[in-house]
Amino acid sequence: MTPTVSAALPSLSTSIQILLVMSALTLLPAALLMMTSFTRILIVLAILRQALGLGQSPPNQLLVGVALLMTVFIMKPSLDRIYDGAYQPMVAGTVGADVALGRAGGELKRFMLTQTREADLRKFAEIAHAGPFAGPADVPLPVVLPAFVASELKTAMQIGFVVYLPFLVIDLIVSSILMSLGMMMVSPATVSLPVKLALFVSVDGWTLVLGSLAKSFGGAG
């Protein structure tokens, strides 16, 4: 009887690990949004679409897809380290799931710290009544995560402002020209839209914006 019970324990442990993994999968969308470059990219692309005056074109699904692909591109060095240092050892059985999860979380924390302003870290550390810390690397993950999100939102808005500004100038110029010609019944957006599209395409705007977004993460790798 004892051998039977002992033989069942490894199976039970594997089942529990599978259950935990399946439960963790439900948190992946939130982790993708909150712990990677996805948030900044999606916000900037949405602002760019608004600046061009295209309404719902490109559609939301396409913007999310582009942001996801760019996230994989930017996060590849970190994902490679997670795969080599956490996933492969866990599959090989050399480390447990808890150790692998800790290594993966540490790598994501390192990425977030490279993108988070120290002022945001200090602010959320004060709110959590945590610290003082010897350095940013000693800040716990529950403090790093909201600080990273706040920093990403601020950075995305700053980049969005720079992206929006030239299109706003075009709108103002077209509106002034129409007013001076007495064409007040013509919507400025009707005239400025093709002008903005022509300008955006002529400067290879998508490559410029996506490339600038990738470079904005600097030392993420």
In the chain, what is the greatest distance between 2 CA atoms, to the nearest angstrom?
96
Which amino acid type is present at position 16? I
Q: pLDDT digit string (tens) for 135-182?
A: 777 788 888 899 999 999 999 999 999 999 999 998 888 888 888 877
Residue 52 Cα to chain centre, angstroms: 22
Our CA angle for 150, 151, 156, nearest 5°, is 100
pTM score: 0.80
Question: Comparing C-alpha atoms, which of 51, 77, 43 is closest to residue 149?
Answer: 43
When computed from its CA atoms, the radius of gyration of the chain, rounded to whole angstroms, is 24
- pLDDT by residue (tens digit) across 127-141? 888 777 777 777 888
List the chain pLDDT tens, one digit each, 221 residues: 444 444 443 444 667 767 777 777 777 777 767 888 899 999 999 999 999 888 788 888 999 999 999 998 998 888 888 888 887 887 777 877 778 878 888 888 888 888 888 888 888 888 888 777 777 777 888 888 999 999 999 999 999 999 999 999 988 888 888 888 777 777 777 788 888 989 889 988 899 999 999 998 885 55
Q: What's the pLDDT score for residue 10?
A: 45
Record the tokens describing residue 78, joined without a space.
């970190």
Element (H, E) at 7: helix 2-25
What phi and psi values does residue 132 have, to the nearest 5 degrees?
Answer: -75, 160
Q: What pLDDT score was predicted for residue 1?
A: 42
CA atoms within 13 A on the CB side of 26: 4
